[in-house]
Amino acid sequence: MESVLGVNDLPDAALVSIFEALSLQERHCYAAPVCRRWLQLCNTTPQLLRRIDASFASTQLGAEQLTSFCTWLLEHAVGRVQQLSLVVEQSSTSPPPEESAAALPAAIAACGMGGSLRELRLHGLVGQPAVWASAMHGLRLLHLTARSYWEDWRPSARALQGL
């Protein structure tokens, strides 16, 4: 009788190769909940954390997801992420929820302080660059397409000039 192998019989390297084909959201919605091993691979494998792309909508759910993402980023990706690309859409008529507005700049700054962040692409609501720009020690490319609720960008412009 032939033995049947399952997907969990694959070595970690093979699973990581499969996970690389998934977006960050797909990995965390569909792969990570399967078992502890897959969760650990999704959260700790350096090659899965080198490039992070994420988008958040201008809804209350999007704001909650953004806050949760920032917490995850602080716990798992600091010092590992080399390319961070975020799209944070926000309603033009209302400011962002306070919690997510504070969480995003802190998470971006932490990634920069880790020294591994080389490329940062931010589109939409990016907060005050003055909060995170000084932490971008290893940054080689910065692409901002920003919308801000803060009227005075002078401190942010000075911080960006220091990069």
Cα separation, 52 vs 25, whole angstroms: 10
Judged by average pLDDT, the poorest of 54-63, 73-82, 131-140 is: 54-63
Task: For residue range 19-44, list pLDDT tens digits in order.
Answer: 999 999 999 999 999 999 999 999 99
pLDDT score of 121: 92
Beta strands in the chain (DSSP E): 51-56, 83-88, 119-125, 141-147
pTM of the predicted model as reported, rounded to 2 decimal places: 0.81
pLDDT score of 151: 44
145 band by pLDDT with thresholds 50, 70 and 90: confident
Task: For residue range 62-113, list pLDDT tens digits in order.
Answer: 778 888 999 999 999 888 999 999 988 766 555 556 666 778 888 898 888 8
CATH architecture of 10-48: Up-down Bundle (1.20)
Judged by average pLDDT, the poorest of 43-47, 54-58, 129-133, 145-149 is: 145-149
How large a percentage of the chain has pLDDT more than 90? 40
Query: What angle separates helix 98-113 from helix 60-72, to the nearest 10 degrees?
Result: 30
